[in-house]
Each structure stands twice: as C-alpha cells, then as structure tokens.
Amino acid sequence: MNETAPDSTDAAAEQHSTRGAYVSAGKGFDRDMNYIDDRITRDGRDGWPVEAGRYRLIAARACPWANRTLISRRLLGLEDVISVGMPGPTHDKRSWTFDLDPGEVDPVLGYERLQQAYFARFPDYPRGITVPAVVDVPTRAVVTNDFQRITLDFATEWTEHHRAGAPDLYPEAQREEIDALNKWMLHRVNNGVYKVGFAGSQEDYEREYALLWEALDELEERLGRSRYLMGPSITEADVRLFPTLIRFDPVYHGHFKANRQTLASMPNLWNYTKDLFQTPGFGDTVDFAQIKRHYYYVHEDINPTQIVPAGPALEPLLEAHDRDRFETDTWGPGGTAPEAPLAAEVVDPAHTPLHVTGR
C-alpha cells in the first residue's frame, strides 16, 4: 500500500494522502481499510474472469503489502500468466510512478502514474492510490486493490494456471485457523509496526509499542513449536508475515522506534526469517535498497532529513539457520520449489546479499 492520493488539487491530495503513513499530532494511527473489493474469479461473477495474459499486477518492491503478491505469484508459478509492473520506491502525494521503466512509463499500460489506472475506472476516486493493484490490460483500468484478497485468489481461483508442484498456500482444512491468524497478525504486527511508527502522542506510542512486542513474543513462542506458522509446510500465513519481518531490523526497529530489541536477537523469529529469506520465492523478491529508500525518503514527517541509513549488514541473512530441527514438508505433498525468477525480475544484486540467476 502507500500514502498517495488523487491530485485534483493540492488540498485534496493532502486530505486523501495515505491509508496511513503520516503522523497526526495527538492521535493514534488509523489505516483506511476500504478497498476496491472486486475479485477475479473462475466464474467471473464480478465481471472479471480468470484469463491468462489479461491482467497486470502493479507491485512496488518497497511495499510490504505488495511484496506479498510478488511472493505468492512466484511460489504459484503465475509469472507467465499475470504480468507485473513495478513502480519505483518513492512517490509523491498523487501516486506511485513508473520511474524505473524506460521513459518512466509502464511498457504495457503506457502510464506514468498508477493513479491513471484508478482514474480510468473511477474518475473521482476519493481514496489513496495503493499498491498492490491489479489492472485490466484491455481497458487499462484498475480491477482491485484489495491486498488481503488478491493473494487468496491467486491461491484458489487461478489453480488451473498454477505451475506443476505449486504449494497449496491456503489448504482447506486449515483455512479457518489461517484466517484467524492472519487477522491477528494484520492488526498486531503487519499494521502494528505502523501504529507504533506513526503514533501521534507518547501515550499512543507506548500502548502500541507494548502490543506489538507482546505479539512478537507470541510469534517467537509459536515458532518454537514448528518450522512454519501452520506446521511443516509454507502457507499464506508465512507469505503475510515474512515481508514485515524482513523489514524489521532495516526499517521498523529504528525508523518506527520499535526498538525493544532487534529481530536478530530473537532466536526463533530470526532463524525463521533467515530460513524464508533463503527459500526460493521469498528472498529473491526482496530489494533492500528500494525498501530503505522508500521509508526513509518518503516519510518526511518522521525523517525530515531524508537520510537513508547505510546499515544494517545483510550478510547474516545467508548464515545457517536451525529450522530444520522441526518436521518439514516445505512445499507440501508433491510440491516443489519454484524456478528461478524471470530474468527481467531479478533483483539488482547490489541491493541484496542473495544472488539469483534468472531464466
């Protein structure tokens, strides 16, 4: 997601900026959770049928919510079915921009800004222009930005296009428990770090800080019982937690003042993070340079100098972990690891310690 808005006037842009990334003095952080809830389904009941090559996922590597969709797309092998556009790590009040592409224009949509896809469908769209978003290529109009639903539909509605050996990220027998865990993690961890970082008063900060660390302690204990959140295999829950954990020490610990301790000092959470980072489909979607550039540059209200820190060292993410002490069936019955990323989607080797050869 992000902190951007329509640009009919500067005042309107300011009013609608962010679903969350700004400080409001004296107030707690409250993310706008109203999204375009259309779904792309096999039966096309919302008017958007599953169709290979029709849709384009817009997902900035900097954004944790978008990072989930990149991981899911990789794990399920949807790269040749759903194309991807990647905005750069910074944006203004109006929108994410395609400044990484030649001519600073998305080569498929022909847009300079993501907001153009939103306005193509909703000319007076009143909310933040967020990633991830799925765009209908023929009309160049946004279909959905419901970040919580997009990955679930990748797992359940796009099954005919999954690669051979794709994991079942949302197994039916565990869905109720996964849903409950995901809801808890959303409010206490994924969004919890933002509640700490954008608290507008000492009282709000201390309350949210305590709740965040209480939740992280619970996860530390949970991960002392199994390799992954739901047991021996990777599920949607792991896809949702990893983007927050991988950003914790480089960003949330200092930038958001979530600094009771580093993640690297918590044995289970840290080894779990290293384990997933070294797992195909997870670490190879992470661009630390873009992540740090986004948070430290865009959030001028909490980092007015826009200085991006040089650390922390990333090489420890490649060190051995201890997660294989648990029962393990990483990809589930009959599952296999995904192939290497498409050559055009390989993260710049200078931005990560994980060097992956594309295909």
Domain 176-351 in this protein, CATH class: mainly alpha
Q: What is the pTM of this model?
A: 0.93
**Per-residue pLDDT at 17 exceeds 70:** no
Least reliable range by pLDDT among 10-19, 95-104, 257-266? 10-19
Backbone angles phi, psi at 31, to 5 degrees: -80, 135
CATH class of 10-161: alpha beta
Confidence at residue 21, expressed as pLDDT on a 0 to 100 scale: 55
The string of DSSP letters for 258-293 reads: --SS-GGGSHHHHHHHHHHHTSTTTGGG--HHHHHH
SS3 352: coil
Residue position matching structure tokens 């740090």: 292
Q: Is 63 a catalytic residue?
A: yes
* Helical ranges in the chain per DSSP H: 10-16, 64-76, 115-121, 147-156, 175-185, 192-197, 202-222, 236-246, 267-277, 288-298
Please give the average per-residue pLDDT across 90-100, as a whole number.
92
Rounded to whole angstroms, the Cα distance separating 88 from 102 reads 12
Give the mean pLDDT of 112-122: 98
| Cα–Cα distance measured from residue 167 to residue 155, given in angstroms and rounded to the nearest whole number | 9
* Per annotation, catalytic residue among 63, 111, 170, 296: 63
Instruction: Kindly state the average pLDDT of the residues 225-235.
Output: 98
Q: Which two tokens stand for residue 234?
A: 């990777």
For position 5, what pLDDT does the model report? 32
> What is the Cα–Cα distance from 310 to 147, expressed in whole angstroms?
30
CA–CA separation, 215 vs 4, rounded Å?
29
pLDDT computed for residue 26 by the predictor: 64
CB 168 within 8 A of CB 72: no
Closest to 200 (Cα-Cα) out of 25, 19, 18: 25
pLDDT at 170: 98
DSSP H helix total and E strand total for the chain: 10, 4
Annotated binding site: 96
pLDDT attached to residue 351: 95
Region 123-152: what's the mean pLDDT? 97
Q: How far apart, in whole angstroms, are the C-alpha atoms of residue 5 and residue 142? A: 15
pLDDT number for residue 92: 84
Average pLDDT for 84-100: 94
DSSP 342: P
- Annotated active-site residue 252? The verdict is no
Residue 317 to residues 24, 269, 327, Cα–Cα distance (Å): 35, 12, 22
Q: What are the backbone angles phi and psi of residue 235, rounded to the nearest 5°? A: -135, 180
Up-side HSE of residue 229: CA atoms within 13 Å toward CB? Answer: 27
Task: Indicate the domain borders of the chain.
Answer: 10-161, 176-351
Give the mean model confidence (pLDDT) for residues 304-333.
Answer: 97
Q: Rounding to the nearest 10 degrees, give the CA dihedral for residues 277, 264, 19, 230.
A: 60
Find all residues with CB under 8 Å of 38, minimum gap 6, and list them: 46, 47, 48, 143, 144, 146
Q: Which entry of 55, 118, 125, 194 is annotated as an active-site residue?
A: 194
- In whole angstroms, what is the distance from residue 99 CA to residue 120 CA? 20
The mean of the pLDDT values for the chain is 92
Binding site listing for glutathione: 96
pLDDT in tens, 244-296: 999 999 999 999 999 999 999 999 999 999 999 999 999 999 999 999 999 99
For 111-119, the CB contacts below 8 A with 24+ separation are 111/140, 114/58, 114/87, 115/4, 115/6, 115/7, 116/140, 117/58, 117/141, 117/142, 118/6, 118/142, 119/6
Residues 316-326 pLDDT 10s: 999 999 999 99
Strand 83-85, strand 55-58: pairing:
parallel
